[in-house]
Amino acid sequence: MLARTCLALALVLALPVHAADDAKKTPSAKDLLAKSTPDEWRTPDPANLVYMDLPQGRVIIELAQDWTPAHAANIRTLIREHYFDGTQVIRVQDNFVTQWGDADGDDKAKAKSLGTAKESLPAEFTRKGGKYPFTRLPDGDVYAPEVGFSDGFPVARDAKAGEAWITHCYGTVGVARDVGAETGNGSSLYAIIGQAPRNLDRNLAVAGKVLKGMEILSAYPRGGEPMGFYEKPEQRVTIKSVRLAADVPEAKRTPIQVLRTESKTFAAVIEAKRNRKDDFYTRPAGKIDLCNINVPVRDPSKKP
Amino acid sequence: MLARTCLALALVLALPVHAADDAKKTPSAKDLLAKSTPDEWRTPDPANLVYMDLPQGRVIIELAQDWTPAHAANIRTLIREHYFDGTQVIRVQDNFVTQWGDADGDDKAKAKSLGTAKESLPAEFTRKGGKYPFTRLPDGDVYAPEVGFSDGFPVARDAKAGEAWITHCYGTVGVARDVGAETGNGSSLYAIIGQAPRNLDRNLAVAGKVLKGMEILSAYPRGGEPMGFYEKPEQRVTIKSVRLAADVPEAKRTPIQVLRTESKTFAAVIEAKRNRKDDFYTRPAGKIDLCNINVPVRDPSKKP
């Protein structure tokens, strides 16, 4: 029997093909990235780079400094005062979010001190006016007038209203809050682990985006209580430590680079996915949705 | 400190509110379902209902008999001859698919016999012409001219081309295949566990949809090999058994009902999600994407 295991093989592997066939086929992302130039990659600012060390490995998050500066500052304070060390993954709701923070955060008597961090922050749900890079996608969006990428983040904008915001895509990290718009402070964060819940857009502050380690956050057992909270304290995973890359000696940092979302190679990667046609994909979609695009990340210490 | 754990509370819990506030607030799905009538729910045909028993529990899949009849028939044959018993979860690729089948399927010498099932099937990637129920969504779609629901399945259609197809949303079950369009036979299946990979639409046959148990399929550790294959055989989860509900004595079946996608209550659930406005959600999306809608399922033996 032939392989039934080849689903989407063409997505990942560059199959050896005759030169004559090459022209007809969409190049793979791997091939396109191999041809990228060094200046097409950026090294995130270590002051915006968060290492969250879990028993299963390291999750790396880039803070959205330019989009939610008050939240980025407060999260940096929490990290520098080691607030997150020993806090836990408290909630995993299938096809929605993995959330972490102080399991006793609801209980004033038991809640961990926020130290010098603020308890309340301005509701940075959208960005009003100002300048920012914007690489627009060509196929529209169900939710917003325009969507695209800005410095690696998936964003939507409404030019008429003069507003833009980071969208809730897979891997987006948001700030949990209570009912009041200003009740979020970054001490409890969530990562999107399912179909992009775009109805959260403009209702919550986005803290940043997971660059590495989503496969850890997405594979925790789902909680059995409403909203995916764990029934028993022992089901919670305890966070070993959360540090800023800037506070880790340079030699001990995890090497990471992100493909610039204004680069030619990123445009080519998107185009190849929009119009993928090869031996496996015979009917190209011809379109692509914002949250179907993964921004490539690489370890610059490894040869491509 | 106030709860940081209340993200999306309003999505799940009906908060007690003053009657005067009620009118301004979007009803919750829970409230809407509580008011549904018995005739708004359907009991899936047991001949199309698959019980896949894994060590972590039961996954229930509804076969898309009306959309991919040749595949449904072949999968029924495989199930009735106990083909799947002892096969394994062979691949979990983050934000993409969990795939199961014969780990040795690629190796002609070792592959499990398909019994009386067919090795090759017509490429039922789209449905041409014919009549089928279609509850159209109002907000458009990035990929297709029209999207909506048909008998519980998320579908797209292109009226001009006279074609319709089940879309690859979270929980959609597809038929893995080799490069050739007719190389799929249902002996290896995959479930979508991440952002809807709509570029698979019209390139693969959709076998059905997971009605229950997605939280099992979505939480397996991701495989470390390319495409999420597991490195070591011992990482694979072995399937205990796969049975058709029709072959299980009625008293031993898992009670399950699905909200009719042409019902008033389903329309109300969609509308409430499109325009959710309450104490937490202050800016309603005003729109909804096809794959953001979960078709409600219930256990009719439990009181609502």
- Quickly state the pLDDT bin for B23 (edges 50, 70, 90): low
CATH number of the domain residue B108 falls in: 2.40.100.10
* pLDDT, position A130: 85
Q: Residue A23: pLDDT band by 50, 70, 90 thresholds?
A: low
pLDDT in tens, A97-123: 999 999 999 888 999 999 999 999 999
Please check whether residue B174 lies inside any domain of the structure.
yes
Are A89 and A99 in contact by the 8 Å Cβ rule? The answer is yes
Q: Judge whether residue B253 has pLDDT over 70.
A: yes
Say which of B1, B140, B178 has its CB closest to residue A2.
B178
Q: Is the CB of B289 less than 8 angstroms away from the CB of A177?
A: no
A295 pLDDT higher than 50: yes
Task: Provide the number of CB pairs (under 8 Å) joining chain A to chain B.
Answer: 232
Residue B139: the pLDDT is: 98
Residues facing residue A58 across a β-bridge: A53
pLDDT tens for residues B81-114?
999 999 999 999 999 999 999 999 988 899 999 9
Q: Which residue range forms the structural domain that includes residue B153?
A: 45-254
Residue A188 domain-assigned? yes
B83 interaction partners in chain A (CB closer than 8 Å): none
For B65, which DSSP code?
T
Residue A40 near residue A260 (C-beta atoms within 8 A):
yes
Find the residue in B nearest to A170 (Cα). B195
pTM (2 decimals)? 0.93
In chain A, the residue whose alpha carbon lies closest to the alpha carbon of B273 is A199
| CB contact (8 A) between residue A176 and residue B143 | no
Task: Please judge whether A227 and B101 are an interchain contact, meaning their C-beta atoms are less than 8 angstroms apart.
Answer: no
Residues of chain A with Cβ-Cβ distance to B111 below 8 Å are: 1
Chain B residues with CB inside 8 Å of A202's CB?
A: 283
Residue range B170-175: mean pLDDT, rounded: 98
> A13 pLDDT exceeds 60?
no
> Are B201 and A285 inside 8 Å of each other by CB?
yes
Q: Where are the alpha helices (DSSP H) in chain A?
A: 9-12, 19-22, 29-34, 69-80, 214-217, 264-274
- The DSSP element (H or E) to which B298 belongs, if any, is strand B297-298
Contact B189, A267 (CB under 8 A): no
Q: Does the residue A92 lie in any domain?
A: yes
Please report whether residue A259 resides in a domain. Answer: no
Query: Could you say which DSSP state residue A267 is in?
Result: H
Interface contact flag, B176 A11, Cβ < 8 Å: no
- Identify the residue whose tokens are 């694979």: B236
pLDDT band at B304 (very low <50, low <70, confident <90, very high): low
Q: How confident is the model at residue B16 (pLDDT cuts 50, 70, 90)?
A: very low
For A128, phi then psi, to 5°, come to -100, 125
Yes or no: say if B203 and A8 are a contact pair by the CB < 8 Å rule. Answer: no
Q: Any idea which residue has 């279609």 for tokens? A: B134
Per-residue pLDDT tens digits for A145-198? 999 999 999 999 999 999 999 999 999 999 999 999 999 999 999 999 999 999
CA–CA distance, A105 with A77 (Å, rounded to integer) = 18
Residue A293 belongs to some domain of the structure: no
Predicted confidence band at B130 (pLDDT cuts at 50, 70, 90)?
Answer: confident
- A49 Cα to chain B: minimum distance (Å): 22
What is the number of domains present in chain B? 1
ipTM attached to this prediction: 0.93
Q: How far apart are CA B55 and CA B102, in angstroms?
A: 17
Residue B34 lies in a domain: no
Exposed / middle / buried, residue B221 (Cβ in 10 Å: 0-12, 13-18, 19+): middle
